[in-house]
Amino acid sequence: MNVLKASVAIFAAALVILNSSVFIVDEREKALIVRFGEINRTINEPGLYFKLPFVDERIKIEDRVVFFESPNKTVQVMDGRRYQVDAALMLRIVDPQKFRETVGASLARARDRIETRLDAALRQTYGRRSFDAALSQDRPVMMREIRDQVRSEAIPLGIDIVDVRIRRTDLMPEVLQETYGRMSAERLAEATLLRAVGESQSTKVRAEADRNYVELVSTAQRESEIIRGEGDGERNKVFAEAYSKDPEFFSFYRSMQAYSKSVGGAATTLVLDPEWEFLKHFARGTKDELPAQQ
């Protein structure tokens, strides 16, 4: 019975020792083996490894790209206006030994140091540019400049800055309303200018149309007067020729037209002197007394 208990105890101890001696490093991490506080070796490749039980300590080191967000950073551009910037960093631990020696293999401590350098890099980079440049063609260049500045701080920590991205650039709340007011005033001034140009063009077009109208009407009236004059001349010519051929018949014809216009309706009543010259053709006694046609 005692032998069985001893065997179980030895087997259990062997399992504990084996469990303390064997460990696995997967593809997502690296490992440091620390012996009595000193780094004994660095494991960079995944696999099954051994260490001295109760003597060696394994420290896991992240081998993936780590993503840090750094929101609401205050920066100031060349014209003195201040903005809030959201930045994002992507970093990777490339030297586990330096990472352990400088920040105790702590990502939180490394982030604090890197973020301090990021603040300075953002202020320095934005301070050399205008706000419009920061939002347009210089934006990729700015992100590379910030990355290079932060990288100089991260390399001694055993960390490489893979990339830096500017995710948002907004006005500070205290200057946002002022900027909106200025933009509104600029748009109103532009609208007023466009409206004035439009009214000027409208007046010009209207004046041109009025001038063309007067010219066309004047030309039409002149031509109509000319045509009317030519018609009257032709009519007078015809009348003159008719009069010259038979003056008495022409006088009779004109009198008939005058009678027709004077006595145009059934209810017309005229009271005239029979001896009046206007009624001379009514004074003739018979049809034979009418002038013969030529």
Pair 171, 81: CB distance under 8 Å: yes
In this structure, what token pair is assigned to residue 177?
A: 């309303």
In this structure, what token pair is assigned to residue 221?
A: 């009236």
User: Are residues 131 and 55 part of one domain?
Assistant: no
Contacts 24+ apart (CB under 8 A), 237-240: none
User: Are residues 76 and 165 part of one domain?
Assistant: yes
Is 207 within a domain? no
How does the average pLDDT of the chain come out, rounded? 80
**Mean of the pLDDT values across residues 266-282?**
64
Residue 166 has pLDDT above 60, yes or no: yes
Q: Give Cα separations from 44 to 24, 73, 88, 285, 290 (angstroms).
A: 12, 36, 27, 150, 145
User: Are residues 13 and 99 part of one domain?
Assistant: no
Alpha helices in the chain (DSSP H): 2-21, 96-103, 107-127, 131-135, 139-154, 173-245, 247-262
Per-residue model confidence (pLDDT) at position 290: 45
Q: What is the CATH number of the domain that holds 87?
A: 3.30.479.30
User: Are residues 74 and 41 part of one domain?
Assistant: no
User: Are residues 43 and 9 part of one domain?
Assistant: yes
User: Are residues 152 and 71 part of one domain?
Assistant: yes
User: Are residues 114 and 81 part of one domain?
Assistant: yes
pTM listed for this prediction: 0.52
User: Are residues 81 and 50 part of one domain?
Assistant: no
Over residues 107-158, the pLDDT tens digits come to 899 999 999 999 999 998 888 887 777 677 778 888 999 999 999 889 999 9
Is 116 within a domain? yes
Q: What type of residue sits at position 116? A: T
User: Are residues 99 and 10 part of one domain?
Assistant: no
> Could you say which of 171, 195, 230 is where a domain stops?
171
Is 118 within a domain? yes
Pair 85, 117: CB distance under 8 Å: no
Per-residue model confidence (pLDDT) at position 151: 92
Token pair 């100089």 in the structure block, residue: 152
Per-residue model confidence (pLDDT) at position 75: 86
- The CA distance from 181 to 183, in Å, is 5
Pair 33, 58: CB distance under 8 Å: yes
Q: What is the CA radius of gyration of the chain?
A: 57
Residue 294 has pLDDT above 50, yes or no: no
- The CA distance from 134 to 139, in Å, is 5
User: Are residues 102 and 30 part of one domain?
Assistant: no
User: Are residues 6 and 47 part of one domain?
Assistant: yes
Over residues 66-93, the pLDDT tens digits come to 998 988 888 888 877 788 889 999 999 9
Choose the weakest-confidence range: 15-29, 74-88, 177-191: 15-29
Token pair 């003597």 in the structure block, residue: 55
Beta carbons within 10 angstroms of residue 239's beta carbon: 13
How many domains in the chain? 2
> Could you say which of 41, 62, 83 is where a domain stops?
62
**Mean of the pLDDT values across residues 191-205?**
91
> Could you say which of 139, 171, 203 is where a domain stops?
171
Domain of 92 in residue numbering reads as 66-171
Beta strands in the chain (DSSP E): 22-25, 29-35, 38-43, 47-50, 56-62, 66-76, 82-93, 159-171
Pair 291, 251: CB distance under 8 Å: no
**Mean of the pLDDT values across residues 173-178?**
67
Is 35 within a domain? yes
Over residues 210-248, the pLDDT tens digits come to 989 899 999 999 899 899 888 888 887 887 777 777 777
Is 152 within a domain? yes
Confidence of residue 264 (pLDDT cuts 50, 70, 90): low
Is 203 within a domain? no
Is 28 within a domain? yes
Is 269 within a domain? no
User: Are residues 18 and 86 part of one domain?
Assistant: no
Token pair 């063009």 in the structure block, residue: 201
Per-residue model confidence (pLDDT) at position 16: 65
In 3D space, the residue among 80, 83, 21, 89 whose CA is nearest the CA of residue 52 turns out to be 21
